[in-house]
Amino acid sequence: MFMWDVKMRGGYCAMGVGNWELGIGDWLPSRNSRKAEPGDSIRLSVDISSLNTFATSYAAAWCSHEPGRVASFFTEDGSLSINGGAPSVGRAAIAAAANEFMNAFPDMVVTMDGLAIEDSHAIFRWTLDGTNTGPGGTGQAVRISGYEKWTFGANGLIAASLGHFDAADYQRQLQARA
């Protein structure tokens, strides 16, 4: 089990130092629950096996070519930022960002390469394989690896994801000539 401190935006949290257990899509509060106030902190205990299941399902959502499935892993007001760009905030915006990749790479496969815990964040390591045959595509095969740094909300969903990959290598692969 790993312990994380989480800042609340609303919802319910355990009073004081609570014991929350990660489930797919929701947290199960311990005794003494109370309405959380914005800025409250709680401590979550996370079962790495459940977190691994969550991350594996997240990778599968990217492979589904259903942008809404990716967005469902985020809180209602969650955010996804890629390589320091402007964040996509809210499920509709996250689905739109996922849809851009899904359209660009109709054969896209995302695999989970690893999962780690760093401070109060989960680090999801991934590899994307696909051919850029979507509208305006170059027809080039791309294989990029990267990671997302996740901050979880009290409901067990991703509140913020900071995604990173080598953009220069990605551009080189898109423009490569056989």
Give tens-digit pLDDT for 92-145: 999 999 999 999 999 999 999 999 988 888 999 999 999 999 999 999 999 999
CA distance 13 to 142: 43
Question: Does the pLDDT value for residue 3 go beyond 90?
Answer: no
CA distance 106 to 162: 24
In which band, very low, low, confident or very high, does the pLDDT at 82 lie, cut at 50, 70 and 90?
Answer: very high
As assigned by CATH, the class of the 48-175 domain is alpha beta
Q: Inter-axis angle of helices 48-63 and 91-104, to 10 degrees?
A: 60
The phi and psi torsions of 89 (rounded to 5 degrees) equal: -110, 130
CA distance 94 to 52: 22
Which pLDDT score is estimated for 29? 40
Residue 99: count of CB within 10 angstroms of its CB: 16
pTM for the predicted model, two decimal places? 0.76
Residue 15 or residue 113, greater confidence: 113
Residue 75 or residue 28, greater confidence: 75
In which band, very low, low, confident or very high, does the pLDDT at 9 lie, cut at 50, 70 and 90?
Answer: very low
Which pLDDT score is estimated for 7? 40
Which pLDDT score is estimated for 177? 66
